[in-house]
Amino acid sequence: MNEEEKKKQTQILSVKEGVLANISSGLADQYISPYFIVLKISSFGLGLLNAIPNILGPIFQILGSYLIKSIPRKKVIIIAVLGQAFIYFFLGLLTILIFYKFHINVYLLIIVFSLYVALGSIGGPAWLSLIGDIVEKEKLGNFFAFRNSMGVIGGTFAGVLAGLLLDYLKISMPNNLLYGFAILFALASILHFIRSFYFQKHYEPKFEVASEHYFSLLSFIKRLPYTNFGRFVILTSFISFAVNVSGPYYNLYIFIDLKFSYLQFLILSVITSLSSFFTFNLWGKLIDKFGSVSVLRASGFLISLVPLLWLFTIYFDRYTNFIFLIFVHIIAGIGWGGYGLAMNSFIYTSVSRPKRALCSSYHSLISGICVLLGSFLGSFLIETFKFILPFNSIMFASFISGLFRFIGTLMLLIFVKEPLEIKRSLFEAIKYRMVKLESFVVNHFGHFISEGGLSRIFSMYRKSKK
């Protein structure tokens, strides 16, 4: 088997491994917040649950970036995945002990889950580097779109089964609900063990990193305002800050304030996954055609709209809220699907192969710090305004989050450029279509519109842009 065939085989294995990872996520990761809510965690505790993994993860990711200098990338990935398998097995055991009335501090459980995230992060740079050698640069958008689509199918199916199990236990055997979570953690552990076997079959091209490709975090930070990738890091990290002002607390709002069931929570999660699934291929094609930054901007506006739409839930009853949030989660799924793909594609096309893993790690660390700050700000707003506002303080945090997201996306529009030469940006393509539509309307419906009015507006717009 020649090198090209080995790469094709590894791409197929990567898709299969990605499906297993998403199934594991659908069974366990997706239900971590509900698990801690069952344990009666506070809003501050939920903030920590969101913040600590997002700090430990990048730190371990940087460690992983240095490990690939001396350890084969495939070996680093396998060790990380096996570590995740053992962590979920251990978390399942702790959950059984809690069921049998052993007192286990909830913050210990947060640390255990944070280690799960951290171990996965160790393998992140190795995987990022390996896939960059396996997939041709111009096909990355379509590859990630296909891999993510297959993963969403598996993750959605797993999430449905997990949600049905938890809802059944909550209704018929509420005292055994923790047993349900223990089962889910055990299944996730098994799936991570299987993933490690798929990674053993991956082809690993020869990889050497020169010492000059490694640089300190301080030197990276100093250059951030002066490079296109640096501005990308700053602004996407700011968006991460904005997202986490409200993001960690929506599940608390859903279960405690809106009093949704696990089945309703499951339906909303599935809606998000399916809306991402049905648009992955479109986003991938748009990235390959118009560039990752154009898609980053378009999807950024969608995810900025989502927290503002959540505000309407304070006016509706429980049934109307559920129907309305289905619509909101469709927008969220479309937006986050494009945003995630565009982020990956931008990193691959902006950073040279030897520096990719380390730059990605530093980006994750800065973003993780912003996640921590955003979570604490959200918790502060929720607790401070809990008894002051005439409506739920989580929705106030949601408003602040939406405002900050819009600011970050607007700055992306201004300060970050496409890393590759693209014939036409997505926004220019949309503007081109609008001009064509204008021409059609004027030519065919001129007697309804003052002749040349739209043309003058567009002409003024073009001159102002110049």
The domain that holds 316 is classified in CATH as 1.20.1250.20
- Residues contacting 202, CB < 8 A, separation 6+: 10, 13, 14, 74, 77, 130
| pLDDT for residue 284 | 84
461 and 338 housed in the same domain = no
Burial annotation 202-222 (CB, 10 A radius, 16+ → b, else e): bbbeeeebeeebeeeeeebee
Do 444 and 329 lie in one domain? The reply is: no
**Domain that residue 442 falls in:** 427-465
Residues 172, 189: one domain?
yes
Residues 148 and 25 in one domain: yes
Looking at the fold, whether 347 and 406 belong to one and the same domain comes out as yes
Query: Do 338 and 442 lie in a common domain?
Result: no
- Based on the structure, what is the number of domains in the chain? 2
Same domain, 361 and 449: no
Same domain, 416 and 459: no
Query: Taking the CB of residue 355, how many other CB atoms lie within 10 A of it?
Result: 18
Query: What residues contact 272, with CB distance under 8 A and at least 6 apart?
Result: 329, 330, 332, 333, 336
Phi, psi of 215 (to 5 degrees): -145, 160
Measured distance CA(266)–CA(285) in Å, rounded: 29
pLDDT at 11: 87
State residue 450's pLDDT score. 44
Q: What is the pLDDT of residue 421?
A: 56
| Closest by CA position to 25, among listed 151, 111, 127, 109 | 151
Same domain for 412 and 452, yes or no, is: no
Check: CB of residue 318 under 8 Å from CB of residue 258. yes
Q: Which of 212, 213, 235, 208 has the alpha carbon at shortest distance from 224? A: 235
Does residue 461 share a domain with residue 387?
A: no
408 and 456 share a domain? no
Name the DSSP class of 421.
Answer: -
- Along the chain (466 residues), what's the average pLDDT of each consecutive run of 10 residues? 81 90 92 89 83 85 82 90 95 92 88 92 84 77 81 87 88 85 95 92 76 75 91 95 92 90 86 86 86 91 96 91 96 94 86 77 88 91 88 93 96 86 51 45 45 46 45
Are 414 and 449 part of one and the same domain? no
**How long, in residues, is the chain?**
466
| Residues in CB range of 92: below 8 A, 6 or more apart | 181, 182, 183, 185, 186, 189
